[in-house]
Amino acid sequence: MTEAGRRRGHGMLGSVALVIAAGLSIQFGAAVAVLLMPRAGALGVVTLRLVLAATVLLVVCRPKLRGYTRADWGTVLAFGTAMAGMNIFIYQASDRIPLGVAVTLEVLGPLALSVVVSRRLINLVWAGLALGGVLLLGGGGFGRLDPLGAAFALGAGAMWAAYIIFSARTGRRFPQFDGLALAMAVAALISLPLGLAEAGTKLLVPSTLGLGLAVALMSSVLPYAMELLALRRLPAPTFAVLMSLEPAIAATAGFLVLHQALSATDALAIALVIAASMGAIRTQAGRPAAER
């Protein structure tokens, strides 16, 4: 392998590590958010997460507001809207159905994206294997779920697919994390009236604010920054298939934080989605440069 090839391989592995670390942070943050919902409600938790995350990012990044085109601002607006929708829908789902099942349904959005935009037949195979794992992780119990909760989870999946697309575009148009900070501010403004209507002054209780800040850092600031960096190197189809790891991570977080036991079927499903993700990574890493 040439030196350039080794550098590409190392860059790919580094990006994969960022995606996995982001998934761990998001799902353990989501488990903490479930514990916070009785205090502030699902929309209240979303608002705390996005508003506090936006505040941290704006203070740290201090993004510039000049020198961007109308298309740049349109991309940030779309990214922020997708981010808000993804969070609002998945938190509404998690308030009605188990966290692992909610994320299992949500991940169908990225999987569908990987199939739609794929240009190689092998990617369809990996996506199909991951989908099998996702369905197995559901345990055949989707029909017994609260229908509104399931609908919210599927809606979150659609927003997640949009998030992947516009996160990559934002990373290319804005330096550093400026685009992420601006998009997070858009998401916060969208969620703010909803959270205030549901929770009101409950959002200002110090202990609630403290937990909300933990959720904001774990589920927004750190993972979104890592994903933005990863999407500058990873193609959208590979990133989307890697998202199939999320149900496995969510199941682990549910076990450790929410005391939800894992069955043998869950373990088999986790093995399937990991195999699919690793296959997608190896396929992408092995492609000739001219095909990328």
Contact between 241 and 126 (Cβ < 8 Å): yes
pLDDT tens digits for range 246-286: 777 887 887 788 776 667 777 787 778 777 776 776 666 55
Q: DSSP 3-state assignment of 259?
A: coil
Contact between 217 and 26 (Cβ < 8 Å): no
Q: How far apart are CA 8 and CA 185, in angstroms?
A: 34
Q: Is the pLDDT of residue 240 over 70?
A: no
For 165, the token pair is: 């697309």
Residue of higher predicted confidence among 275 and 241: 275
Q: What is the pLDDT of residue 55?
A: 94
- The single-letter code of the amino acid at 257 is V
Q: What is the mean pLDDT of residues 130-138?
A: 74
Q: Is the pLDDT of residue 51 over 80?
A: yes
For 227, the token pair is: 């994903």
Q: What is the mean pLDDT of residues 153-164?
A: 91
Q: What is the mean pLDDT of residues 235-255?
A: 75
pLDDT tens digits for range 172-219: 898 888 998 999 999 999 999 999 999 988 998 999 999 999 999 998
Give every CB contact of residue 78 below 8 A, 6+ residues apart in sequence.
Answer: 162, 166
Q: How far apart are CA 64 and CA 62, in angstroms?
A: 7
Q: How far apart are CA 187 and CA 172, in angstroms?
A: 20
Q: Is the pLDDT of residue 171 over 70?
A: yes
For 39, the token pair is: 């205090």
- The single-letter code of the amino acid at 187 is A
Environment class of residue 220 by beta-carbon count within 10 Å: exposed (0-12), middle (13-18) or buried (19+)? buried
Count of CB atoms within 10 A of residue 52's CB? 21
- The single-letter code of the amino acid at 30 is A
> Average pLDDT, whole number, for the chain?
82
Q: What is the mean pLDDT of residues 146-161?
A: 90
Q: What is the pLDDT of residue 138?
A: 63
Q: How far apart are CA 292 and CA 285, in angstroms?
A: 10
Q: What is the pLDDT of residue 166?
A: 92
Instruction: Assign 291 a pLDDT band (cuts: 50, 70, 90).
Output: very low
- The single-letter code of the amino acid at 181 is A
Q: What is the pLDDT of residue 106?
A: 86
Give the chain's radius of gyration (CA, Å): 19
